[in-house]
Amino acid sequence: MTTGKQPSNTVVEKGWTSSFIYGLVPARVDVSSECPNGIASAERTFSFPNMLVNTLTLGIYLPQSVTVTCAAEGSMSAAATSMEFSLPADATQAELQRVLDAAALQSSIAQKPAQVRLIAE
């Protein structure tokens, strides 16, 4: 997931963050002290051990790895606005899921609401 802000050289990696109920209750990652200008991108991945733990707990606990690239200096004004994600009207199910996952991750990282907008063609 990217925000469109210029990335800095600061990358924060959280190797084992907790989410629950197959990821429906997302992991909370606070990078505000490491990323004073907001974030440029965030990525979550699920390793084999993460998925094994998820299977053993019957989906109740889903650990994941989160990597956040901080925004460069001068991106602060953009960080103060609401987060918007756009989706074309003819989007596939996979595209919809990708955008919703990105919005949920960004919202949980920034502790701000994200908005998904459908673009009518």
pLDDT, tens digit (0-9, with 9 covering 90-100), for 45-62: 888 888 899 899 998 998
Whether 62 and 22 have beta carbons less than 8 Å apart is answered as: yes
Whether 59 and 50 have beta carbons less than 8 Å apart is answered as: no
At residue 36's C-alpha, the angle toward residues 32 and 41, to 5°, is 75
Whole-structure pTM value: 0.57
23-36 per-position pLDDT tens digit: 778 778 888 888 88
Pairwise pLDDT comparison (21 vs 102), residue with the higher score: 21
